[in-house]
Each structure stands twice: as structure tokens, then as C-alpha cells.
Amino acid sequence: MRKLRMGMIGGGMGSFIGDVHRKAAAIDGMIELVCGAFSSTAEKSLASGKALLLPEDRCYGSFEEMILREKALPETLRMDFVAIVTPNHMHFAPAKMALENGFHVVCDKPMTLTIEEAKILEQLVQSTGLLFALTHNYPGSPMVKQAKAMVENRDIGTIRKVQVQYLQGWMATAVEDADNKQAAWRVDPSKSGVGGALGDIGTHAHNLLEYITGMQVKELSADLGRVGKGRILDDDANILIRMENGAKGTMSLSQIAVGEENNFAIRIYGEKGSLEWHQENPNELITRWLDQPKKIFTPNGHGLYPQALAASRIPSGHPEGYLEAFANVYKNFAIHLNAFLTKTTIKTPDYPTVSDGIRGVQFIHAAVESDQQNAAWINM
Amino acid sequence: MRKLRMGMIGGGMGSFIGDVHRKAAAIDGMIELVCGAFSSTAEKSLASGKALLLPEDRCYGSFEEMILREKALPETLRMDFVAIVTPNHMHFAPAKMALENGFHVVCDKPMTLTIEEAKILEQLVQSTGLLFALTHNYPGSPMVKQAKAMVENRDIGTIRKVQVQYLQGWMATAVEDADNKQAAWRVDPSKSGVGGALGDIGTHAHNLLEYITGMQVKELSADLGRVGKGRILDDDANILIRMENGAKGTMSLSQIAVGEENNFAIRIYGEKGSLEWHQENPNELITRWLDQPKKIFTPNGHGLYPQALAASRIPSGHPEGYLEAFANVYKNFAIHLNAFLTKTTIKTPDYPTVSDGIRGVQFIHAAVESDQQNAAWINM
Amino acid sequence: MRKLRMGMIGGGMGSFIGDVHRKAAAIDGMIELVCGAFSSTAEKSLASGKALLLPEDRCYGSFEEMILREKALPETLRMDFVAIVTPNHMHFAPAKMALENGFHVVCDKPMTLTIEEAKILEQLVQSTGLLFALTHNYPGSPMVKQAKAMVENRDIGTIRKVQVQYLQGWMATAVEDADNKQAAWRVDPSKSGVGGALGDIGTHAHNLLEYITGMQVKELSADLGRVGKGRILDDDANILIRMENGAKGTMSLSQIAVGEENNFAIRIYGEKGSLEWHQENPNELITRWLDQPKKIFTPNGHGLYPQALAASRIPSGHPEGYLEAFANVYKNFAIHLNAFLTKTTIKTPDYPTVSDGIRGVQFIHAAVESDQQNAAWINM
Amino acid sequence: MRKLRMGMIGGGMGSFIGDVHRKAAAIDGMIELVCGAFSSTAEKSLASGKALLLPEDRCYGSFEEMILREKALPETLRMDFVAIVTPNHMHFAPAKMALENGFHVVCDKPMTLTIEEAKILEQLVQSTGLLFALTHNYPGSPMVKQAKAMVENRDIGTIRKVQVQYLQGWMATAVEDADNKQAAWRVDPSKSGVGGALGDIGTHAHNLLEYITGMQVKELSADLGRVGKGRILDDDANILIRMENGAKGTMSLSQIAVGEENNFAIRIYGEKGSLEWHQENPNELITRWLDQPKKIFTPNGHGLYPQALAASRIPSGHPEGYLEAFANVYKNFAIHLNAFLTKTTIKTPDYPTVSDGIRGVQFIHAAVESDQQNAAWINM
């Protein structure tokens, strides 16, 4: 194996998520950042690239320029894949162009603004055979892997109830009017799409629910809040869920829940046992049982499935966090990409792909549609 | 003051809630149990009464007998009030008869099976001027008192979102077919009324929400589960909530959430702060703020409102629990009753009354009606 | 069984611990308060007795008066036992006189000021055959019972390490100079004896350690702090422990640990497993294992020993607290006393007795002696 | 700035701590691994280097070879510093040789086996002017930075009591006889030095205590356990502490505490407030106060000092863990080294240095000496 070469689109200085992607990609030493189109102007992009210790000639003024010029480089130099870390409205075009020009793609979520765009990307992935990772990071967490494996192995039996909450407070005041770039584009439908909190955090909640349960949400009924003065998009959502097997549940999302930091939690209740996981303390999986005391699993601790063990780097009791979970998406993508490049056959590593991207966009649209009909049930 | 004399209806040997009422009434030394009609037969009632160290002639075979014979006793001996701790369908008749015969009433929840019955009791309370306490115990918890006071004092500003969950697992299997008397009547509509989990735990959730926020639930949309094989009544519920001021939220109830013991929790989000309380660890009130770190209040700890201080018995760090919260309902009722008997004017102590009882029955019916219409919005 | 009749010595208005004893004795409906010598003057004692709804003629001006006059009452009326809830220096004399006059005794801890006094009480208990309970309440907690049973059943194997902490902050400032009666006598050697924090909380820590492990502390090395200005007695203690089987450990005590409420915690490490319990969240017993995930036991939850089940009153998830644990001491004492009075043979119920009292006084003296020798090892 | 070039000594395949150093160095994109002498044989070293995607000619058979051959490379290529991640007995020689040949050093702890060696390194650092970082990672944690800043700013006033525990269970059984390479050298005095648990975890506990308090441990009294059969070195320690200002405390260390993962916790009690931090949930700093409720600080949360803010990478609520804290040591070392190389004057970044290394070795020796004298007080 050689280090895989990453070109970044977006993520200039001051960007939260660009920095997260770079650190996540770096942790395991399998990927190096070789180039980038970091900002909307060539000047800013160059400044960001220099701060990232890149050579000037690999700092591009636009993603189009980057894709075309990298394509012209010798194979031993040019980037292997792009990482798209722009606001939502800028995911589709670069992803499409990258795929069309032979580059693999890592793309932030939600994948696109519309279901149509999402389907175009899906078709491109299928027709090109290129790899596509969607950076839902929470499935990368070791205890989430354990939860999924416990469901798959039927440790908790048939699922009968679910509960998901994703609560933040950072938009409780009019931060979009202050100097908060992220808030500004998140409240702007032209950049965020039809969903606000739905797109930012709701897609994570939905994705994790389908990931752990191995089932799809069949229908939902959504009552959205637009609490911040003048906001067009939702900053709060209260949703009833029906899963494909008949299990019911609730989803509570908010970005105006004062003082909540990133309180993302999921509870899954089966016939024989139940699972509870909290993102803010990710190194515990709380399990409950019909006839035994509560048991708490930990990364690299006792009684784990191989999937969970594979997702931990360090001994139990040494906490791994958000970046390590995020890095697991990059790591599995890198393992896959290396196998692709070396034409090695392996069991496909577990990371979110273009089909997760479609589900996410469908979720946003279903919730918005339901809300427009006073929380009518919408089939997904 | 003298010790107030309590006569109990229901609560024979093996009854969970009868024992809870007796202990709660005993803790503060203001109330003594003087008589009871504990069971459906005179024989069983006598056996229970003897085990409770009562004289034989104060153990009655029926509530009718008890009310009439106690009424005939001299005022210095006869019971002051009845405590009704029977299954739901046996609340109305004894409550009505007690009021009609001049006895004050403490009654378990839900107050009655129907809204009509509830209103009859309300009218009786008004016309007789007698006292009526409904034993929602959770409002008796010191940290709930603090939460309510913080809302009243506008510490957290206008409420914008709410989230309530009440999760149990004890009915996850067919306990009603095993030797579980409580389960048996709870799944029986003739004894429980139209609600199962709704009546048992949903009324607590609804009551606490209205108690802390000081607002009514305006409308709700309920998707009920009847998960246990053959169950007619709900054992699971997923509900969207709209409060009278426009705040939205979710309510998740379950008695089939495997391994959950009594996981009742509430979160209230205001413009300036938020509150979180968990019944299973009741001696903490978690508060979050726009610009300060999370603060955790404790009973008899720093920074409390008088209402919270008045509800604690022992120094901070010495945990009070379920019984002490329950006892606070009895204590405030006893203070009120003593003032009534001694014709003293006091500020009415804070305990749930007949109007809370009506709201609870309305809540059950609204949720059932909503569910019958595929979770349509129902106005309460 | 009839209600057992309790006479109280000390515990007048404003007393924390007197109120705790009364509530603890009342919860289970087996004991009634019939008389008291609540204060140092007849007037104050009467006022307290009246507030407690006692008849005037059962409110006594001194413990001597109470013991003699109660003794003169007919057997069907007179108190069965005394509850001694005075400051430390007032435990010995009333306990001695009560025993000498045929009354059983419940006594607060530490039992006496000196080892000599403690041994006199032990001999009196033996010679009279009367019952003597020492109110160490923490052994009454259901999860402590479970811990003890797990050790007895060798679930965790041979004990190899222990750790105890009991941290409070209420004496972090000069509260003895403010209007805090308890603080005033606790810093006064003539009333507290040779130990300050050692007597108040150290004896609890020591007792619980010996109770759960079923072993004695063999030797200790104590470094005491007298942090508050002008304090003669310890308000902080740091202690090395060696158990009789060679297990080692630490004990950290403090009453100047700012902001700590009643942070009493114990950890026991065996060859095969370990146990952890926190008084402030008493409804959990955390257990760890060589090859299994952490398991958390709860009162009336799954997997408990009968001793733990017997100590819980209400279903799992309904928290019991400090008063309920305290009440378990009274309850077991009452069961024992009833058997004594009815000459029934039963397995002796589990509550702390005069021998625990001797150990506690020995612990205080050993720690003080060690500290005087710069933390030399002292054999207990 | 350019990427700083790291050469690694030790840390071959299967090494826990080598991998940790590499990931920690990689996260922030300021350092690249360019060469290594990873193992005791050239063959194994090469295999490890290849797996790390290094060129063959930068994989060396010994640290001596690496240092000499790197020194011979042009300045634009050769490594800037070595990272020494070998067992304890292999720290001194490569550190000395690196310094003597002009290379900066990052060295794992404990720094050396003897105090004499430690002082030689200190003199070399002084005489060469080269940089030396000791990888105590816990001071890199944002909430530890906050704790230190709160002490420095006298938020909690004069420190009066301390409590430290570091509890692990991984050596509870005879893992050194199984296939556990780390356990094997840790129980071997020729490789570990005079301390077992003392060196591995005790030095962390001691370092963090001095780091946060800004004070030295003045004297200690240690009672060591050698619990595992046949072990020569301590695997358990119980220590009394006296700080230079007179504050007292306890330290409890163990590697035989069954089921404990990496339970490192510290409590600092001042006159006005107190601090509590747990490594296993590092994203909380619990603070308690004389007259306010408990407040919990979080990374990038409200109310932090700049030192804490500078140590966080991502928004509050997104947990950072062990690797990120470790990376903060590398990051601050890299900032310092960059300033050194570019001859820029900056405020010296905060990371552990050679003087921390000396203190750690002194701590181990003082504890062993105390234990040999039955826990006599030893001055540090």
C-alpha cells in the first residue's frame, strides 16, 4: 500500500468541518492531503493551502480547475479522490464532475439538495464503478458498531420501539445575524436546501437509526419548528416514526435547545433486550435485559463483536471521540480504495455510501412534506 | 395540630401502591392510619388490617360500610379522610360517596374512567368545599419544585420545546398471564379504562409537563402501540405535543421497553435556559444556559427557591427518593386539612387536585381518539 | 405483633438526626414514638414533644426522669426501647441507665467517647440480654446488602484492595462560629471526643468497610488535618489501611472538601471481580469482572441475593434513599425486638450492634494515636 | 512553517504506545514520520517501517545507526527530532545520543531508570539548548488545562486537600506469563526500573497532581502491593501525600483492580472551590463551590480560560479523547520547535519537559524507599 492522495474541495481557513475531515483522514497514516480548492476565490484558497503546508501549484481556485489539472498530472502524483466539505448546495456539482473525471469521492452530508441530484450521483457511481463515501461519522463509533452487530445477531430480538434525539442549542439566538458563517448558510434555503436542522442533524439521526436497526423508516409524521425569528427553515423538529417491521418511535431534533451541545442519543428496544448510546459519552453502550442486570460495553472491553473491536484503536478506558469515529469512515474508505487500486478482492468495508445519501435526502423531503400537511404521515 | 386520621380503601396485602401510600403518609408523623376497607372481601380486609396492626372493629368489608360506620363514630375518633388506592375503575364510586358523606379524599390516578365521572367529582368538591388530593407524586420531588419555580420566575424565559419520556419494561412479556395481579387489571379495559400505559404512566408524564411549565397541552397526535400479544389497550405510545403557547415537543411512553425500570425524564427548553430532570436520579436538576456552564441543583443545595427547600427533609447529599416525594403530597394535603379543620387561613399548599384529575382523564381520551384517527391532531 | 413503643433521648426541634430517627422509625409502621426527653431543659423538651403531637405527660425533662417514670408505667403502656440521638458525649450515660433499667437501646454513633465506656456497654448488653442497635444506616442500603452478599458468596474472590472516601464540605468555613449548633459541638472535644470528622463520618467509612468485606481493619496509618482555623479536632483525614487478610487500601475523609455534599463511596477489589457503591446515588451497585462487561445492579432489579431483595420496599427504578436505608436498621431491630418480646426464635436480623460500636471507637482512637506519631502504623 | 520530520525509536508492529505516538503526531498535520528504528533487529524494523509506508532506506536497524545516518543527510531531508517510545530501560541511551548529535527529543515516561540518568539528560538539554518533551499526555486534556488555569487564577483559593486515583485491572491475572509483551517487560526490574505500577501509572498521577496544583509533593508515605504471584515490582500502591503548602491527600494506584480500565481521576479541594476530573470521561470538569451549585465545564463550552480553549479542536459536545490530549503535547512541542527552527520568539508553549522527567523518577524512587521502610515519610 502507498499513502492515498486526497484533494479537498471547500474547508478553507475557519471551516469547522474541513478541519475535521483533514484530521480524520490523517489519524491512521493512510491518506495524505495533496491538493485543494479550499475557497471561493483563488487567493483565499492559496492562503488556506499554504497554511496547510501544501505546495502553491496544488492550491486551486475552483474545483473545476482542480479536477482538470489533477487529471492532467501523472498517475503517480495526482490525487486519488476528492473530499467535498462545502455547504450543502455545493456537494452535487463537484461530486458529479469528480466521478465523471475518474476520481473517487468522499462527500459530506446531506449528499445533495434534491432527490433528483441524489439519483444522478447514484447512477454515476454505478456506471463508473468508482467509490463513494458519505461522511456520516457516527456509524464509525465502536459502540455503534457493537449495537449494530448485536441487532444483527438478534441478541435483543425483534425491534419493537425506537427513540432518537439530537439536541443542540447553538442556534438558540440569532447567530446567523452575528458573525457565524455556518449559521448564515444553514438558514438559507438556497444553500441548505429544504431542510435546516433536518439536513444538518436530522440526517445523522435518521441514518444512525437505519444503520443500527438494519431497517428502513417506512413512514413519518413531522411537526417542524421555525423558532428563531424570521427563519424559513426548521430549527426544531418533532417526528413520529414507523419502521418497516411495524416498530414505532419518536425523533426529537433541535438546534434551539439552549445549552445542549451535541446531545445525540438513540435507544432501541427489542423483544429480549435494549440498547442505548449517547454520542457525548460515546465509549459506553448501555444494554438492558429481560432477566439480567444492565451491562455496559466499552471499546476494546469485554464481550464485543469483531466489528466493534475493529473500530477501536487503543485499549479500553482510553477514550476515543468524534474524530476517531470520523476517521473510521476514512479508514474503511481507504482500505476499500487501496483494494480497488491494487485490484485486490476484499469484503467491502463498512462505510456510508451513495445509497445512504439518497435515504438522507428522502428523509429531509419527507419530513418537510409531512409538516406542510400538518404532520400527515408520509411514506419514505 | 393533632394527627390526622386516614381510612384506606384498597391496598390489601401484596398491593404495591397501598403500601406506598401508607409509608408516604407515615413519614412525616402527621397522619395515622385508623381504619380500612382493604379488599374485596371482609375476610381479606380483616387479615390485611390486622397485619397493619389495626383494631378489628376498624377493618371493614367494603368502602360503603367503612364510610357509613365511620360517619357514625364520634368526631374525635372517626377518620378525617379516605385514601383511595384501588384499581382505576374503583376510584369514582368511593370518592363520590366519601365526598357526599363529608369525608375529604386522597385518590390515586387516573382519577376516573371517564370525563363525565371526573366532572361529577369536580362538582362535588366544589359544592362540598371538601379537600381532594390526587396522588401524582412526581410534583412532590424537590427538584421538580425547583424546576417549576425557575419557570415561574422566568429564569429560562419563554418555553420553546419540551420532551418527555416515561419508559418501563415490566410488561415486555405476557406478565398478565403469569401471576401478576397488577398487570392483569391494567390490560383489562373494564378496570383500566380506555388507556393502558396512557393511564398508568402517561398521566404522570402529562401532569408533570403541565405542572412544571405552568401551561396546558393544547393538542396532541398519538401513535399507540399494542405490542404485547392480544392486548387491547396500549402498552406503548409515541406522541407529538403542542403547548398552548406554541411550544412543540414529543412524548415517548412505554411499558414494553425491555430492561427500563422507571425511566421517567423531562426536558424543558426556554429562550434563555433549559431544565432536565430524571426520576431515577431525582436529586439532581440539570440546567443549561446560553452563556454559562451547566449547573446542577440538588435538594437543600445552593441556589434553590423556597418551594424546593420546603420539599426537602434532610441535608444535601442525603438522597431522598420516591417515597419522600409521595410523602410531600400527603404532607401538603395534611397541612391544608389541618388548616381546614382548625379554620386557619393559609396559602393553599401545593398538591395535585381534582382539576389535575380532569386533565389526566382528558389526556387519556385525547390520545386514544387521536390514535383511532391515525394520529390526527386532537384538541385537549 | 403490636406497634413497638419508642422513647427518644435528644432530638429536639432543629435537630437533624432526631428527625431522621423519627421518620426512619415511622416508615414501616412498626414503631410509634410514645415519649421523649428531647432537650436539656424540661421546657424545651415539652415544646418539642408537643410539636411531635405527644401528650404532655410523656414529655420529660431529662433522660433519667424518662427512664424512671416510664419504668413505673404499666407494661402495656411504657416504652419498649430508647432511641439515643444526642451529641456523642451524651450516648454513654443514657444507654447505660436504659440497659440497667430493662430498656432496649437504639443508639447513634459513635457509641461512646472512650473504649472503656464502649466495653461497659458491651458487658451490660451481654449481662442483661437486652437488644442494642447502633444506627450505622449505610449497611441498611439494599445495594450494600448486595455487595456484602456478593463478597460472602465469593463472587469476587479474595479481596486484594480497598478504597473508601467520605467527603463533605459543610465545615469548610468557620460554621462553628456562626449559628450552627451541630458544628459547635462537633469541634468541641468535650462533646465529640478525640475525633472530629473521624467520629462523624470516619466511623461510617470504617464500619461499611468491615461490614461489606466481612473482615477487620488490622492496622492503619493516619495523617489528620485540622484545616479550619483554631480547630483542635480533625476535619480531614488521610489514612492507609491494611486488612486482616493483607489487602491494602486508602481512606480519604473530609468535612472541608468544599462543595461535596455527602460523597461517601467504597470500592472493593477481589481476585475475580470488584464492587463500587456511591451513597449519593445509592440505587446502583457497579460491578466489574475479569472477562465480562460492567454490570449494574439495582434494588429489586435482576440478579440480586435475598438479603438485597429483603431491604427494598418498592419496585426497581423507584429510588429509595437515605431515610429508607436508615429505616432498615429500625425495621430489623423491630423485627428482632418483636421476636424477643414474643419469645419467638428467629434468625437474628442484620443490624449494627454494640460490637460495631466498640470497633468504631477503636477506629477513632487508633487514627488519633497514629496521627500523633506522624502516621505510624497502629494495630486495631 | 514546514512539516516537522520525526524519527521514531521503538514502536514496531504490535506496540501500543508507538501507534499512539504516530497518530498523536499526525492529527494536526504539523509532523510527518520520516524514519525509524522500530525494533531490536534490522529485519523487524524494516517490516514495521514498510507497513508504515516509509522508504526502505529510512528504516534503520538500531537507534545508533539512525542517529548517525540521519545526521549525515542534508538538512532539508534529515529528521528534526526523535520520538523515543521504547520500554523504560531504553529511554536514556537514545535520548542522550540524540541530544549529543543535535536532535531534539520527544521521550516517553518515565524518563529514565535512575535519578542520575535523569540529571544527565537535564544537563544535556541545558548545555545543547535543544528541546525535550516528555509525553505525559494527560496535561494535554482541555479540561486539565482549565483546572490548572482555575488554580492559577485562584478561583478555588488555597489548596487544602488532594485525592488522586489511577486504577487499572489489566494485570489482575498473570498476564506476564501469557503472550503479553508489555506485561512481560513491566514486571522485569531490568527493563522497568524499581517501580512497576509506580512507573507506568504512578508517574502520570504524580505529574498531573503537580501540574494542576502548580505545587510539588513535599513528602510521601507509600505502602506498595505486589499482589500478582511472584512479582518483584509493585502492581498496587497506597500513598499518603503532603504538598509543599501543607495540603494533605491520598493517592491510590493499581493495576490489579479487576475490571477497571483506565480509571484515572483527580480531586483538588481549595478554600473556595473544588475541582474533579476523570480521564475516562475527559470532557467534563466538575467544579463545586461554597455557595453556588455544581458547575460542569466542557471543552469549547462556556466560561473557559484561553488555555483550555486553545487545547480543543472541535465544537463543544463533540468529544475529544486520549489521542487528542496526546496530540496536544506533540502540537505544542511542534509549535515550539518551529519557533526554534525559524528563530522566532514566542511564549514557550505548555508541554512536559525534562524537569517533569526528573520529578517522575524521583517520585518512583521516593515511593519505593518509603515502602522499604514500612511506609515511612520520605522527602521528595
Q: What integer is the mean pLDDT of C295-317? A: 97
Number of separate helices (H) and strands (E) present in chain C: 13, 14
Which of A204, A323, A330, A342 to probe by mutation at the D interface, max D CB count within 10 Å? A323
Q: How far is B315 from chain C (nearest CA, A)?
A: 8
Residues of chain A with pLDDT under 70: none
Q: How far is D339 from chain A (nearest CA, A)?
A: 15
Which of C314, C328, C331, C342 to probe by mutation at the B interface, max B CB count within 10 Å? C314
Which residue among A223, A239, A258 sits closest to B273, beta carbon to beta carbon?
Answer: A258
pLDDT for res B187: 95
Question: Is-contact B196 B166, C-beta < 8 A?
Answer: no
Grid cell listed for C66: 424518662
pLDDT for res A162: 98
Question: Is the CB of residue A318 less than 8 Å away from at least one CB of chain D?
Answer: yes
Q: What is the DSSP string of D201-245?
A: IIHHHHHHHHHHHS--EEEEEEEEE--STT--S-SEEEEEEEETT
pLDDT for res C193: 97
D13 pLDDT above the threshold of 90: no
Grid cell listed for D254: 493499581
Element (H, E) at A328: helix A322-341
Closest to D33 in 3D by CA, of D59, D14, D15: D59
pLDDT for res A246: 98
Question: Is the CB of residue D293 less than 8 Å away from at least one CB of chain B?
Answer: yes
**Assigned CATH for C139-315+359-379:** 3.30.360.10
Q: How far apart are CA A109 and CA A111, in angstroms?
A: 5
Q: What integer is the mean pLDDT of D77-101? A: 98
Q: How far is D3 from chain A (nearest CA, A)?
A: 7
Grid cell listed for D379: 522527602
Q: What is the DSSP string of D296-350?
A: EE-TT-TT--HHHHHT--S-TTS---HHHHHHHHHHHHHHHHHHHHTT---PPP-
Q: How far apart are CA D287 and CA D296, in angstroms?
A: 6
Question: Is the CB of residue C301 less than 8 Å away from at least one CB of chain A?
Answer: yes
Are C319 and B1 a contacting pair at CB < 8 A?
no
pLDDT for res D14: 83
The letter for the amino acid at B271 is E
CB pairs under 8 A between A and B: 138
Which residue among B1, B23, B261 sits closest to C313, beta carbon to beta carbon?
Answer: B23
Q: Is the dihedral of CA A51, A53, A56, A61 positive or negative?
A: negative
Question: Is-contact A4 A81, C-beta < 8 A?
Answer: yes
CA dihedral C68, C69, C72, C78 (to 10 degrees): -110
pLDDT for res D149: 98
Are A303 and C294 a contacting pair at CB < 8 A?
no
C15 pLDDT above the threshold of 90: no
Alpha helices in chain C (DSSP H): 16-27, 42-51, 63-72, 92-100, 115-128, 142-152, 181-186, 189-192, 197, 203-213, 306-310, 322-341, 354-372
The letter for the amino acid at C344 is T
Are C20 and B314 a contacting pair at CB < 8 A?
yes
**Assigned CATH for D139-317+359-379:** 3.30.360.10
Are C27 and B27 a contacting pair at CB < 8 A?
yes
Class of domain A141-314+359-379: alpha beta
C283 pLDDT above the threshold of 90: yes
Q: How far is D367 from chain A (nearest CA, A)?
A: 26
Q: How far is A255 from chain B (nearest CA, A)?
A: 11
Can you tell me whether residue B34 is helix, strand or coil?
Answer: strand
pLDDT for res D367: 98
Backbone φ and ψ for C345, nearest 5 degrees, come out as -90, 125
pLDDT for res A181: 87
pLDDT for res A1: 81
Residues of chain B with CATH 3.30.360.10: 141-316+359-379
pLDDT for res A15: 87
pLDDT for res A285: 98
Share of chain C above pLDDT 70, in %: 100
Residues of A in contact with D34 (CB under 8 A): none
Q: Which chains touch A (3 or more CB pairs under 8 A)?
A: B, C, D
CB atoms within 10 A of CB D223: 23
Question: Is-contact D225 D234, C-beta < 8 A?
Answer: yes
Closest to A38 in 3D by CA, of A20, A65, A60: A60
**Assigned CATH for C4-130:** 3.40.50.720
Helix, strand, coil in percent for chain B, rounding step 5: 40, 20, 40
Question: Is-contact A249 A206, C-beta < 8 A?
Answer: no
Nearest CA in chain B to C55: B2
Which residue among A52, A262, A315 sits closest to D318, beta carbon to beta carbon?
Answer: A262
Q: Is A288 exposed, middle or buried (0-12, 13-18, 19+ CB in 10 A)?
A: buried
What would the pLDDT profile of D124-142 be if each residue is shown by its tens digit? 999 999 999 999 999 999 9
Can you tell me whether residue C39 is helix, strand or coil?
Answer: coil
Are C1 and B53 a contacting pair at CB < 8 A?
yes
Q: How far apart are CA D376 and CA C373, in angstroms?
A: 11
Average pLDDT value over all residues in chain D: 97
Question: Is the CB of residue A226 less than 8 Å away from at least one CB of chain B?
Answer: no
pLDDT for res A13: 87
D179 pLDDT above the threshold of 90: no
Q: Is the dihedral of CA A247, A349, C294, C263 positive or negative?
A: negative
What would the pLDDT profile of B91-122 be if each residue is shown by its tens digit? 999 999 999 999 999 999 999 999 999 999 99
Grid cell listed for D195: 517501580
Are C168 and B262 a contacting pair at CB < 8 A?
no
Question: Is the CB of residue D14 less than 8 Å away from at least one CB of chain A?
Answer: no
Which residue among D26, D301, D315 sits closest to A27, beta carbon to beta carbon?
Answer: D26
pLDDT for res C320: 96
Which residue among B289, B292, B295 sits closest to D294, beta carbon to beta carbon?
Answer: B295
Grid cell listed for B297: 441543583
What would the pLDDT profile of C227-268 be if each residue is shown by its tens digit? 999 999 999 999 999 999 999 999 999 999 999 999 999 999
Question: Is the CB of residue B248 less than 8 Å away from at least one CB of chain D?
Answer: no
Residues of chain A with CATH 3.30.360.10: 141-314+359-379
What would the pLDDT profile of B187-244 be if each residue is shown by its tens digit? 999 999 999 999 999 999 999 999 999 999 999 999 999 999 999 999 999 999 999 9
Helix, strand, coil in percent for chain A, rounding step 5: 40, 20, 40
Element (H, E) at A83: strand A81-84
Our measurement of the distance from residue A78's CA atom to the centroid of its chain's CA atoms, rounded to an integer in Å, reads: 26
Beta strand B248-254 pairing with B159-167: parallel
Element (H, E) at B208: helix B203-213
Residues of A in contact with B288 (CB under 8 A): 169, 258-260
Q: How far apart are CA B205 and CA B162, in angstroms?
A: 12
Class of domain B141-316+359-379: alpha beta
Grid cell listed for A129: 464503478
Are D296 and B291 a contacting pair at CB < 8 A?
no
Are B288 and A260 a contacting pair at CB < 8 A?
yes
Backbone φ and ψ for D284, nearest 5 degrees, come out as -135, 135
Residues of chain C with CATH 3.40.50.720: 4-130
Residues of chain C with CATH 3.30.360.10: 139-315+359-379
D122 pLDDT above the threshold of 90: yes
Q: Report the alpha-carbon angle C51-C55-C56, nearest 5.
A: 85
What is the side-by-side order of every strand in the sheet holding B104-107? Answer: B31-37, B4-9, B81-84, B104-107, B132-134
Q: What is the pLDDT along chain B (380 residues), one digit of tens a residue?
A: 899 999 999 999 888 899 999 999 999 999 999 999 999 899 999 999 999 999 999 999 999 999 999 999 999 999 999 999 999 999 999 999 999 999 999 999 999 999 999 999 999 999 999 999 999 999 999 999 999 999 999 999 999 999 999 999 999 999 999 988 899 999 999 999 999 999 999 999 999 999 999 999 999 999 999 999 999 999 999 999 999 999 999 999 999 999 999 999 999 999 999 999 999 999 999 999 999 999 999 999 999 999 999 999 999 999 999 999 999 999 999 999 999 999 999 999 999 999 999 999 999 999 999 999 999 999 99
This prediction has a pTM of: 0.97
What is the side-by-side order of every strand in the sheet holding D132-134? Answer: D31-37, D4-9, D81-84, D104-107, D132-134
Question: Is-contact B325 B140, C-beta < 8 A?
Answer: yes
